[in-house]
Structure 1
Amino acid sequence: MPADSSLLEQCFARVVHEAGPLSGRCIDVAIASLQQAENQGREVAEREGLANAWWRLQQQRDALVAQYPDRLAQAFRQGDGGSSLSVPAPLSGSSFLALVDDNAVNESLEAVRLQQALMPVVEQALAMVDARMSSLIGLETVHVEKNPIRPSVFVRTLRDLMSERESDAPVRTLWLQHVAPPLARELCTLYERVALMLQNAHVQEAGYRIRLVADGAPSRPSPLAQEGPPEDDGETSASRWGSVSAAPAGTATPPAADFRMGDLAREQTPLRHGVMRAFLAGEGEAFDAPLDNGYYEQVRHELARVDGHAARPPLDEGAIERERTRYRDLPVVERPARQVHGASPLSAERWGVYAAPHERARVLLELKHQADQVSQAVGLDVVRKLVDQVARDPLLLAPVREAVVAMEPALLRLAMTEPRYFGQDDHPARRLIESVAQRSFRYNDEFATDFDAFFEPVRAQVVALNDAASPEPAPFAQALSSLQAHWSAADAEGEERQKRQRDALQLAEARQELANQIAWEISHRPDLYNVPGIVLDFLYGSWSLVIAGAQLSHPEAGEDPFGFRKVIGDLLWSTRREVTLRQPRQLFDIVPSMLQTLRRGLDMLGKPPEETQTFFDALLKLHEPALKLRRIRAQADHAGSSGRTPLDIGEGDDSTLHDTLLAAATPEQQKPQPPEQPWIGQRERAFAGLDPMPVPGTEEAGVGDRSLAEGAETPAPMPPEALTDLLSALQVGGWADLHSGGEWLRAQLVWVGTNRNLFLFTSRGGRSHTMTRRSCEKLLSGRWLRPVASRPVVKKALEAVVQAAPRGAPRHDAVALAD
């Protein structure tokens, strides 16, 4: 398919937009890391080198941050035109060493190490981007080297930019060493966002291509030789794989005389996994051989046996229903997966005539009797194997697996015209099964009404496909199109709501990040001496947010659109009692407009009055001595004019000034402390449809669900490493079971904060769940939040069919990634 240039440009714009802040955070962490290394260094020369490195990096920070986005944008559009990060080999070659000095070699090696250090951190998120980006630029299979935003582009651009800004190679080497960890984390988050952006744009994943690689053994048994009783095709080791490509030229194929036709005629095939692997890979001419008379005679025997099963009384519908509802009363996270396999009896009320296993077997054998070539018979066996594999997949709810089993007759008919169609990841039948499976991951309860609303159209389409009895893929494409249209209509409102929620959280995060910077700038003002702690808390917290919000909403008006920065000086001056008592008139002149500005800024931000009332009460107490002095002087002037004795104009009772609220800021209060999560106003939450804030003091702000663990026993402490693994398993687009409001909900993680300090989940009906990292860890530790594994279902089943080997048997083939 042609590349979607507009969406690709949106991806570039998104990455370039975030590149500046991303590089700034990486450099800041690298500077801190270099400083820490300097403090821990023992050798004087080492400490001097580290100090020189961080000082120079600090000097170049702004230039690097400013230039990095533009250079990245240029690199994206140049494609592969950039220089390679790999070191010319061998390093020991005299011709190479004659041209490159040790510093250049070390720097190049550090750049390679930097890229290698990124991969373990970004691998999972990058795989999603690689698959969707390959599809976006028009490739049918994944080509990681053609991903325009691959890690090497970021590393190469940063290295080249550093080389331009710093001429000392050892210094650049230190920069690259210490920038690696933060760059890995930042790229991981960035790739998650890009993957979600492409997913929301309905960009399909391209498939990974695999090929057969001969092991060089002197001889191989016939791939169609019988291997004895089939073994369990459980999980097998595999790599990243989708479709199957042809074997390399020269791979030996068995002659037609080696086929055992009787094995192909059976209902339960005993064929080796290697046979199916070679078949789907298009290996050899043996699969094009015609079927012999012995094959057809065996098929007729098998059909007679199946007819004998048909004479048996059918399984009682009541027994099927009892088995289906056996564990209904258990919580969904405690229900055992109901067993389903290719020969399972299904409900005739739901699936019609093909609910009976012998009816599905009859279709298989009748098609085998109609087959002309070995490829058709093997293709039918591959379909049956894959159906059985998907039916046993415990990640899927039982009704979804039953739907695949019930679909088997329609899937078998396709194999007569396209025997190898399951090896094509873009085939409508394969896409239909995968799409239904992936859609089903948003449900965790087969008895819930929302699952019924999803599943009933699926059931109807399966029945219609069986009724159509077509050997062509068009009905599958029509069924998928119909379901996707139904899903898109159902998702439209939810996608808009999710967009508002993500936009609100991203705005809050950007505002909080800018507010933290503003608070840090305020903390360096020279007029903060002896300021009460409550005033500093207000300036570092609410007022920094006010200034940040004004700058973000009115970027064209500069750094102080409404004079919110300017009022800080008036506020600090008004709190200095030794000054205001000497200049009360000036205080009376500035206080009204100052209060008006403060109120207006807080109202624009959306801060409710009750959140800042304590501050304004304290401010009134700070101004009270001057107000009191004014009243006394007014009384004195009045007494003098009337001939009465003037009152004492002393400073009066100042006991209120000793209130703890008015105490001077402690050393801890003088330093702004960034909050754990961004502040989000109630108005913003209501507009975006985010969950409401909890009652203050009962839960962490942002969790919004106080019933998650009510009535539960306190779990045993979870080891930190296990908790870290669970937290890292939470990736954007992934699913989890979340206990909320007395029930277990299937929730999707749709957004993660830049520093992974805030998480947004959505569940049934578009309900949102925002939580801090601390809350998330608490829920994971208490098992009230349980990540749910999800993966490509058909791809995994295909791997089990073509890659598994009998236990203890030697492997004569290997599976390798193809470029």
Structure 2
Amino acid sequence: MSIYQSLLDQATQGGAALVSTVALAARQSMRAEVQLTRNLSEREQLELSFRLLETQAPQLGARFPIVLREIFQRYEGVDSGHDDLASRPLRLDQLELMDEGQVQERVELARMLQHVLLEAEASLTELNSYVCALMGLQRVCPERNPLRPDSYVSALQQVMTELKVPTRVRATWLHHMASALGRALSAAYQAWSDGLQRQDVRRAGFTVIRTPEAAPTTSPGTPGRPARAVWTPQYRQTVLTLDKLRRLMAGELDAPADDPKAAFAQQFSREFESGAGNLGAAARAAPDTAFQSTVPAALDALQEMQQVEAVVQRMQQRPAASAGRADGRSAADAVRDDLTRAATSASQVLSLEVVSLMVANLVQDTRLLAPIRKVIERLEPALLRLVVIDPRFFIDRMHPARQLLQEISQRGLAFAAEGDPEFQDFLLSLQRHVSPLAVLNIDSVLPFEAALKQFTQDGDDPKIRANLSSQIHSAAAVLGYAEARNLRAESMAESLKALPELGKVPKEVSEFLCGPWTQVMAQAELKDPAKSDDPGHYKMLVSDLLWSAQPDLTRKDVSRLTKLVPRLLSGLREGLGLIGYPSTKTSLFFDVLMKLHHQAFRPPPKEEPLVVGLEEGLLGSQDHWVAPSEAKASGFMVFADEEVQETPQPPVVATVPDAVPVALKLGAWVEVQLKGAWQRMQLSWVSPHGTMFLFTSSRGKTQSMTQRFFERMLAEGKLRVVSEQASMVDGALDAVVHTAMLNSIDSRA
């Protein structure tokens, strides 16, 4: 048994004891919290969770090691980037389908993972270097370590689900297990590292990775955009939480609060937020109200709920109303603050915050050229006014305003530089049809509908669109056919490799048969309407070629060889012509074959001479052969033979070949280095089996490649992914969800 497998077995066997220790600590934590909880419903929830954990602890301990081993096994494949619930980013469309309990559980999972990572950081870093070395990796790839905290958190969540533990109870368990799990894993990681060190296991190295430039993940308020004074995450850490965002999407945010104190606190907050910033002046000018007479009681209630400090802080951070634009705020800042103060519901306030964060994500996304981002930034006031009266923006992907943003961003991704052809026309269209929205009084969605229609029509030439569609369709048809032939050829190659005769011929002959010739046989079958067993009799030539390539056999029957050669060469030429195989490579292979045939007329030497004729790799990569005519029709890219043979490989600094390949979706954008220049292209088609990609530039030029070629270009830094998502707007909203998740982790909201 290998050291690596022994380590996994050790971790699995210790799983039961680990989870039992964690469960015991969680029960103790819940018992202590019950004593401190005054709220009756919260106390009952805690007591229920305590009793259920006490009952289910044995089953939890029994099932946990089994699930943990299953998770470990998912790392054993080549594409071993295990995707687990705990660390998987949450998307907006997923959030819309979740209920309150599921949201709470997701937050607790993320909170637990964060806590464990912080607790075990030092010991995990050391263990990663040992485990990656045991896996044969040259550099540390933390995501390839099956023992990482994600595996344990996912196993816990999976076992709880299997035991049919209620969602809210699962969330409570996870919350109280986090600290104990962090301590337990930190100790285990250190013990395993010490054990591997004693076994003289060499650690994998750490490499500084230089990655392609991508969109920054900075949040609003960071350098590059003026910080907002009101409703920003850095000042209002609990405004945007995952549960509030879900309720906004479900239309539940304005529902009456069940807790009277919470409802009163909301009213108190609105009263303080609604004024011009001078509470004393407002109090002197206005008559006494029922609300004002209850301020002392309100302060007592809020003190109990620990909310006074947050409310007062918001008052202090709000700029004076008389400051206007003199304080350096942008038009969007002023509009947002005015709309926030005038908001009549929590949903309106949160809608404004979500739109601001979404726009900020788009404006800071350097994949779009600066002039395009400026247009989006100027569009923010109109979007803010819209969402106050039309909350469908968030839940309807086909909402005109959302479609307009989508059209701007996706078409804008086609341009890598302001000097690109047609960019000025695109920018002029934006300024003509979109920019005017910034100064309109938005009272309905109609202005966005009109702008979308005009902007779309302005950039849409039916003739160009039809030609591009036809070009993509033709190239896709060619590549789809090539993929079908390649898959059939691969199957034939596997059958040929099982023949004992294949091991008796020179390597050049076996490679020819399993490469180009399988393509010939596959092409003949695909083109044969009669579906015969051996169309063109190309399969029959396999046995003839194998026999003729063995001089020790041909010397015994020279007359047979003499009769066979003309028919064999004619059949080979005919077959290779069927797939458009290059004549130069055909001639080179025939030279090798003729040298083998000539040996039949000579006495056998003491030692069979090596047949030298084909350079290594001269036949090229035959696993995805594309005929010259097919390559021309689709812009197919192939490996340069001289690169394989002569070009020395530079030292790897920027890439991680051990990492999981990027999974592209239709509509994704990449930049490809062609003839020394970078060209931006969009993924227009993926073959049915995912082995071939077709990309299209904004000018209609197509470029296709195999998945293997794509991964090699990516590893060599000659290709970089600009956008993996088909929608930048969806990506910007997903980033808002991420912000809400972080706020939820940092708070108990």
Task: State the TM-score bracket (shorter-chain normalisation).
Answer: 0.5 to 0.7
SS at match of 1:728: coil
In the alignment, which residue of structure 2 is the partner of 1:795? 733
**Compared with structure 1, are the counterparts of its residues 471 and 120 closer, same or farther at alpha carbon in structure 2 (3 Å cutoff)?**
farther
How big is the shift at 1:718? 2.1
In the alignment, which residue of structure 1 is the partner of 2:573? 599
Q: Letter of the aligned partner of 1:259 in structure 2?
A: R
In the alignment, which residue of structure 2 is the partner of 1:728? 661
Aligned partners of 2:241 and 2:740 also within 8 Å: no
How big is the shift at 1:545? 1.9
Aligned partners of 2:91 and 2:734 also within 8 Å: no
In the alignment, which residue of structure 2 is the partner of 1:697? 641
How big is the shift at 1:602? 0.8
Instruction: Write the deviation string for residues 293-339 of structure 1: whole angstroms up to 9, x where unpaired.
Output: xxxxxx9x958945x89xxxxxxxxxxxxxxxxxxxxxxxxxxxxxx
Out of 363, 366, 371, the residue aligned to residue 391 of structure 1 is: 363
Name the CA distance, whole Å, in 2 between partners of 1:618 and 1:376: 77
1:405 aligns with 2:377: yes
Out of 582, 589, 592, the residue aligned to residue 615 of structure 1 is: 589
1:739 aligns with 2:683: no
Unaligned 5+ segments in structure 1 are 1-36, 43-88, 97-101, 144-184, 186-212, 217-227, 267-298, 310-340, 344-356, 627-650, 815-819
SS at match of 1:449: coil
In the alignment, which residue of structure 2 is the partner of 1:61? none
**Compared with structure 1, are the counterparts of its residues 747 and 261 closer, same or farther at alpha carbon in structure 2 (3 Å cutoff)?**
same
**Compared with structure 1, are the counterparts of its residues 257 and 91 closer, same or farther at alpha carbon in structure 2 (3 Å cutoff)?**
closer
Name the CA distance, whole Å, in 1 between partners of 2:581 and 2:573: 10
**1:150-229 alignment, distance < 5 Å:** none
Aligned residues between the structures? 515
SS at match of 1:684: helix
**Compared with structure 1, are the counterparts of its residues 108 and 571 closer, same or farther at alpha carbon in structure 2 (3 Å cutoff)?**
same
Aligned partners of 1:303 and 1:365 also within 8 Å: no
Name the CA distance, whole Å, in 2 between partners of 1:130 and 1:810: 14
How big is the shift at 1:748? 4.0
**1:227-266 alignment, distance < 5 Å:** 230=230, 233=233, 244-245=249-250, 246=252, 250=258, 252-253=262-263, 254=265, 256-260=267-271, 263=274
Aligned partners of 2:343 and 2:349 also within 8 Å: no
Name the CA distance, whole Å, in 1 between partners of 2:582 and 2:241: 56
Name the CA distance, whole Å, in 1 between partners of 2:445 and 2:347: 16
**1:633-652 alignment, distance < 5 Å:** none
In the alignment, which residue of structure 1 is the partner of 2:541? 567
In the alignment, which residue of structure 2 is the partner of 1:461? 433
Q: Letter of the aligned partner of 1:679 in structure 2?
A: W
Name the CA distance, whole Å, in 1 between partners of 2:671 and 2:612: 48
How big is the shift at 1:491? 5.5
SS at match of 2:673: strand
Name the CA distance, whole Å, in 2 between partners of 1:560 and 1:403: 63
Instruction: Write the deviation string for residues 111-170 of structure 1: whole angstroms up to 9, x where unpaired.
Output: 798789999847499x999989x89xxx98589xxxxxxxxxxxxxxxxxxxxxxxxxxx
1:718 aligns with 2:653: yes
Name the CA distance, whole Å, in 1 between partners of 2:481 and 2:339: 60
SS at match of 2:642: coil
Unaligned 5+ segments in structure 2 are 7-54, 100-143, 145-170, 176-227, 278-317
Aligned partners of 1:745 and 1:764 also within 8 Å: no
How big is the shift at 1:565? 0.8
Aligned partners of 1:446 and 1:452 also within 8 Å: yes
Aligned partners of 2:523 and 2:579 also within 8 Å: yes
What is the alpha-carbon root mean square deviation over aligned residues? 6.1
How big is the shift at 1:454? 3.6
**Compared with structure 1, are the counterparts of its residues 231 and 440 closer, same or farther at alpha carbon in structure 2 (3 Å cutoff)?**
same
**Compared with structure 1, are the counterparts of its residues 582 and 113 closer, same or farther at alpha carbon in structure 2 (3 Å cutoff)?**
closer
Out of 603, 619, 627, the residue aligned to residue 681 of structure 1 is: 627
**1:35-54 alignment, distance < 5 Å:** none
How big is the shift at 1:686? 1.2
Instruction: Write the deviation string for residues 16-75 of structure 1: whole angstroms up to 9, x where unpaired.
Output: xxxxxxxxxxxxxxxxxxxxx899999xxxxxxxxxxxxxxxxxxxxxxxxxxxxxxxxx
**1:410-489 alignment, distance < 5 Å:** 410-415=382-387, 417-418=389-390, 420-426=391-397, 427-466=399-438, 469-484=441-456, 486=459
In the alignment, which residue of structure 1 is the partner of 2:719? 785
In the alignment, which residue of structure 2 is the partner of 1:329? none
**Compared with structure 1, are the counterparts of its residues 413 and 131 closer, same or farther at alpha carbon in structure 2 (3 Å cutoff)?**
closer
Name the CA distance, whole Å, in 2 between partners of 1:518 and 1:387: 54
**1:541-580 alignment, distance < 5 Å:** 541-554=515-528, 557-575=531-549
In the alignment, which residue of structure 2 is the partner of 1:291? none
**1:114-129 alignment, distance < 5 Å:** 121=81, 123=83
How big is the shift at 1:566? 1.0
**Compared with structure 1, are the counterparts of its residues 108 and 468 closer, same or farther at alpha carbon in structure 2 (3 Å cutoff)?**
closer
How big is the shift at 1:613? 0.7
Name the CA distance, whole Å, in 1 between partners of 2:321 and 2:64: 70
Instruction: Write the deviation string for residues 249-297 of structure 1: whole angstroms up to 9, x where unpaired.
Output: 625323535423665658xxxxxxxxxxxxxxxxxxxxxxxxxxxxxxx
Name the CA distance, whole Å, in 1 between partners of 2:80 and 2:267: 47
Name the CA distance, whole Å, in 1 between partners of 2:555 and 2:340: 103
Instruction: Write the deviation string for residues 436-458 of structure 1: whole angstroms up to 9, x where unpaired.
Output: 22443343323423433444333
SS at match of 1:244: helix
Name the CA distance, whole Å, in 2 between partners of 1:380 and 1:530: 73
**Compared with structure 1, are the counterparts of its residues 487 and 810 closer, same or farther at alpha carbon in structure 2 (3 Å cutoff)?**
same
In the alignment, which residue of structure 2 is the partner of 1:661? 611
SS at match of 1:557: coil
How big is the shift at 1:564? 0.9
Out of 521, 527, 536, the residue aligned to residue 510 of structure 2 is: 536
Name the CA distance, whole Å, in 2 between partners of 1:111 and 1:417: 50
SS at match of 1:259: helix
Instruction: Write the deviation string for residues 573-631 of structure 1: whole angstroms up to 9, x where unpaired.
Output: 444556656655544544443333222211111112211112223444555588xxxxx
Q: Letter of the aligned partner of 1:685 in structure 2?
A: A
TM-score (norm 2): 0.53
How big is the shift at 1:414? 2.5
Name the CA distance, whole Å, in 1 between partners of 2:361 and 2:560: 83
